[in-house]
Structure 1
Amino acid sequence: MTDTKKTGGLRRREFLATGAAAVGLGITGFPAILRAQPAAVKLGLIHPVSGFIAFSGTQCREGAQMAIADINAAGGIKSLGGAQIEAMLADSQGKPEIGAAEVTKMVEAGADGIVAGYSSAISLATSQEAAKTNTPHIVDVGVSDQIVQRGLKNTFRFSPGYGKIAQFAVDNLDTINKAAGSPAKTAMIIHEESLFGTGTAELLQKRLPEKGIEVVDVIKHANPTRDFTNIVLQIKSKKPDLIIPANYYNEYVLLARTMRQQRVEAMGIYSVLGGAASSYQFVNEFPEAADLIMDCNHWFNAKSDVAQQRKAAAEAKGLIYTYEVFLAYNAVLAYADALERAGTTDKEAVNAALAASTLDMSYMPYGPTKMVDGQNEGAQPVNTQVQKGVIEVIFPEEFASAQTVFPMKS
């Protein structure tokens, strides 16, 4: 269900009442000039805040709302006379068809733009629906490259897709393995069943053998999955050198805990877009299960003062600073930047501004922003590793905070 949230600024009626009160108090030294407040920019936020991925969807919503609050507090969209951004909230319930239906409702209610929708499947559906009215649509997290490969002129992503992430992950794994004398020869991939997990597994299954690592098995699991005992028994039977999970948060945590309980021995757990491997919540709650796990995932530039300030602000609100929070924040910033340059909410003009974006994203471990067919080519992931309860960056070197530990201890 779609609802609208006021995010700052006086309504016109409130402003007029304030002005009338001031005149009544005798403030008449100069003529009162009442100017109409600029119309708010309506931005739809569509995320799965209920259902099996509700945690991640709620994190996205929180990050987007933080960005809106910061933009409004800084004076709104200045090229539009200080217009405030007004959030329109909807719950996709983790279902693509519901996400698409919410886009229709929002556009009918006057939405100027959309930020959605955490998962790849939902983002595909919401962007396709938004394209029918040319409504600017920014994907916050969804990693499927299909999202930006359909020729939609209204769809943009400022974070990397899984094609780039998978290549980055494989190249860095090869570097890590060779630095240790190439001990890892085999791998098993454990992935969730949706477009995200399936697409990631297919890419890895193709590229790992190019680095001399045989994929001995690929196991798909349902969402949700409440018992990983059988899957872990298969892992113990195959005895892979590397275990590569690609799952959402709850399933990732349960898989990691089950592997530890069953005393699975491997040279490394090397996640690609691991739903929990780069999560402070997982590390804090299950430090033993998280220890020495590596991940190739979205991350922020920990050496950036801006990034650290945003992390501190999120944590002051009681949030765990996950990639959902900062990627959704970034998506709203990108939309606001496009509005500033367009100087209008006209959809075609805003889409053109987004397509020409050169937004400074140095608070991320990215290169210069360069949009090609809706994709920011400057975006890239990082490799992290949990070391003694701390999530350290191990690649790329210019952002690294620690050296890689590999092979991991049994």
Structure 2
Amino acid sequence: MTDKIQPAGVGRRNFLKTTGAAALGLGVTGFPAVLRAQSAKVKIGLIHPVSGFIAFSGNQCREGALMAIADLNAAGGIKSMGGAQLEAMLADSQGKPDIGAAEVTKMAEAGVDGIVAGYASSISLATSQEAAKTNTPHVVDVGVSDKIVSRGLPNTFRFGPGYGKIAEFAVANLDTINKAAGSPAKTAMIIHEESLFGTGTAKLLSAKLPENGIEVIDVIKHANPTRDFTNIVLQIKSKKPDLIIPANYYNEYVLLARTMRQQRVEAMGIYSVLGGAASNYKFVKEFPEAAENIMDCNHWFNPKSEIAQARKAAAEAKGLVYTYEVFLAYNAVLGLADAIERAGTTDKDAVNAALAASTMDMSYMPYAPTKMVNGQNQGAQPVNTQVQNGDIDVIFPQEFASAEAIFPMT
């Protein structure tokens, strides 16, 4: 199920150098360690919505996780367990929390050693809760709701930032961008999808934006899926906000942006927070005019990292669009495998303890060193991106920036 590809930055000589000692070393019984571990497998459950209205993102997550498993296996597997190979157990949540939870139950019965799930916040909430019943280590890949890690579940961990930190970061950087332009933006409208992700993000933004002099003149919720944004866009046109702030999944984001373009909506800026398409090369390539100059505060990789660029190239060589779903799922598998490596066992208590003590170097992301507090990596942060000249540039923080912000956009 996994394509074995050579890990970025690990050539044949380095691969043999790092794995040769384990392969040739003798164990206490006198038999080669690699032979004793030959049949050992570490079962990693991957639960994502690979069908349904968020299937694009779910499949992106699955592919990113499978890439990580292939890279880790090619690099020698779990060395502290004699080179045990990772084996993917795949499940489709269909975009539904109850189905995601049911898949966790099936995997637990099948002897899964750890789970990576489940893209959407509502699904991650359900899968982690179900995994807690068997103390199965559960790493959230994308789900941003802070409820996921605030319940005190000892088996649940997230390496990326939650929407509390993202909203705080987004508002602070918007204030910086606005002030640098002479503070022209005074009003905003928030357009968000109806689930835990969109509703939670909109609530946080509605509270924080007025603290920085931005009046929220309306908040509009839409269903998933939504096939026609004409009425919402007409409301935007009638209220004439300086800023339009979308928070929604890919398909709805694209349709909203295209409808605004078609209806010739004029605004100083489209400033997304966790925009489902705003930091997505697919959107930029397919609808360049609708995407141009859109800003986003979202998950992103460190564009100045050679490791990040090598992983991006490897993903694109497989025909993938290198979206945040891909690299966040990849990172989640790395974090889980790193914990198993340090634990030297798949014992659930030991792996959860190793996850809680994680200090993994994630400098290929715009992150400080990993530090887990109640399952949340405190070193994680988002970045601000902007579509400029048909490409996606980082505009904040400065140390990761590849361009300066263009604002107002018209």
TM-score, structure 2 length as denominator?
A: 0.92
Contact 1:7-1:87 at 8 Å conserved across structures: no
Q: Secondary structure at the match of 1:42?
A: strand
Contact 2:2-2:66 at 8 Å conserved across structures: no
Change (3 A) 1:191 1:176: same
Which residue number in structure 2 is paired with residue 203 of structure 1?
A: 204
Equivalence map 1:9-408=2 (5 Å): 35=36, 37-408=38-409
Change (3 A) 1:226 1:6: closer
Please give the alpha-carbon distance, in whole angstroms, between the structure 1 residues aligned to 2:103 and 2:340: 23
Which residue number in structure 2 is paired with residue 13 of structure 1?
A: none
Shift of 1:83: 0.2
RMSD between superposed Cα atoms in Å: 1.3
Contact 1:188-1:240 at 8 Å conserved across structures: yes
Please give the alpha-carbon distance, in whole angstroms, between the structure 1 residues aligned to 2:255 and 2:191: 12
Contact 2:37-2:82 at 8 Å conserved across structures: no
For 1:316, the aligned partner's letter is A
Q: Secondary structure at the match of 2:289?
A: helix
Please give the alpha-carbon distance, in whole angstroms, between the structure 2 residues aligned to 1:305 and 1:148: 31
Q: Deviations over 1:291-322 (max 9, x none)?
A: 00000000000100000000000000000000
Shift of 1:60: 0.1
Please give the alpha-carbon distance, in whole angstroms, between the structure 1 residues aligned to 2:159 and 2:37: 35
For 1:96, the aligned partner's letter is P
Contact 2:37-2:84 at 8 Å conserved across structures: no
Q: Which runs of 5+ in 2 are unaligned?
A: 5-29
Contact 1:7-1:85 at 8 Å conserved across structures: no
Q: Secondary structure at the match of 1:380?
A: coil
Change (3 A) 1:366 1:35: closer
Contact 2:193-2:247 at 8 Å conserved across structures: yes
Contact 2:2-2:70 at 8 Å conserved across structures: no
For 1:179, the aligned partner's letter is A
Contact 1:38-1:81 at 8 Å conserved across structures: no
Which residue number in structure 1 is paired with residue 16 of structure 2?
A: none
Q: Deviations over 1:147-170 (max 9, x none)?
A: 000000000000000000000000
Contact 1:7-1:84 at 8 Å conserved across structures: no
Q: Secondary structure at the match of 2:44?
A: strand
Contact 1:7-1:86 at 8 Å conserved across structures: no
Larger radius of gyration: 1
Change (3 A) 1:215 1:36: closer
For 2:158, the aligned partner's letter is R
Shift of 1:253: 0.2
Q: Secondary structure at the match of 1:89?
A: strand
Please give the alpha-carbon distance, in whole angstroms, between the structure 1 residues aligned to 2:292 and 2:247: 17
TM-score, structure 1 length as denominator?
A: 0.92
For 2:68, the aligned partner's letter is A
Q: Which runs of 5+ in 1 are unaligned?
A: 9-30
Aligned pair count reads 383
